[in-house]
Amino acid sequence: MKKIVILISAFVLALTGCEEDKGYYLTGTIDGVENGKKVYISELDGKNRTPVAIDTATVTDGKFELDMEAPELPKLSFLRIEGVNGNVVFISEDQIISFDINKDSIRGSEVSGGKENKALYEYLAHLKELNRKMSEMQNEMRQAMVAKDTAKLKSLQETQVELRDNDKNFKQELFQRNKDSYIAVMILTDMLNMRTHSSAEVREMYAEVSDRIKKTDLAQSLKENLDRSSASEIGSKAPSFSAPNPEGEELALEDNLGKVTIVDFWAAWCKPCRVENPNLVKTYNKYKDQGLNIISVSLDRPGQKDKWLQAIEDDNLEEWDHVSNLQFWNDPIAKKYGVRAIPASFVLDENGVIVAKNLRGDELTNKIGELLEE
């Protein structure tokens, strides 16, 4: 009899243990969604950068459950509900992940479970608050400009710098706490794309990421971007390229170097680029007779050559060289130069060596003057 009791106890413990250790298991509550609606789970495809559906669950009495295959590596994942707009973002990991979802406020859904998602939602909360503050500040700055309140405008600009510094410090601190988490690579990718940190700084931090996380698709993509950006850093020989000009003839960088050359990445659809163009015209007119050349590389969309040419005419850019593959963000020149945001510019000396990058306004004009005086 004693043996039977022990065997039964062991069996109960085994069942209890299995119940407690479900591994990668999704469970959630959904308000306002009728029975039978599907819940779709997708993962980000590292190569195509698009979500790929991997599994589904069915809503029953406002709840769903899904037992998933344990992931080898964490991945950025998405939960979508049939008939509901928007996604809930989370990171796949070998943990029980819980969702509290309201179909009328999908972005306000709560996700809990696992260190990966704890770090992810700490990061997302920071970005949401930062964007809110920046948006409010931009509105106040516009009002100050209209009112010609220079004191107020200066104060707001100083506060904006402080916000950006705080953002930079937050990201660095969160990174230091999560070097073995997927969020570490997300942070580094944002640092690189938003230019809050130089590629050299990001490369140094990337070296601290755990070997496990470096195997993820996002880390591999970041590594490729860092390798490309190293080829376009100050002091490097500018990557060579050739592309069609507006007349359809191939124009090569090497054949069109001036004493100083600006390689300018822009597009007709890019408002910040169009705002900067008058300064580029001013700089060119001031120094063209002293050896300045500009090669503008357009990232306009396929089939929109007319918009590219119209923007050249409208912004008075006809005097210098233009090229475009009309491949939008798939432009091979932009990829060679590691360009992930525009406007972007690279200043080359007469030998094609990069001596400055991403300068705008008077800063660009003054730099060109210094180089030509040398």
Name residue 271's amino acid: K
pLDDT at residue 59 greater than cutoff 70: yes
Pairs from 356-360 (Cβ < 8 Å, separation ≥ 24): 356/234, 357/232, 357/234, 358/195, 360/276, 360/279
193: CB partners within 8 A, 6+ apart? 340, 341
CATH code at 242-373: 3.40.30.10
Confirm if 49 and 68 have CB atoms less than 8 A apart.
no
pLDDT tens digits along 153-166 = 899 989 999 999 99
CA distances from 296 to 242, 273, 283, 308, 319 (A): 12, 11, 14, 11, 11
Residue count of the chain, please give it. Answer: 374
Q: Rounded to 5 degrees, what are φ and ψ at 278?
A: -60, -35
The C-alpha atoms of residue 18 and residue 126 are separated, in whole angstroms, by 37
Return the closest-CA partner of residue 59 out of 79, 29, 98.
29
Copy the structure tokens of residue 318.
Answer: 């006809």
pLDDT tens digits along 118-150 = 999 999 999 999 999 999 998 999 998 899 899
Fold classified for 2-111: Immunoglobulin-like (2.60.40)
Reported pTM: 0.67
pLDDT of residue 236: 87
pLDDT tens digits along 220-252 = 989 988 887 777 888 889 999 999 999 999 999
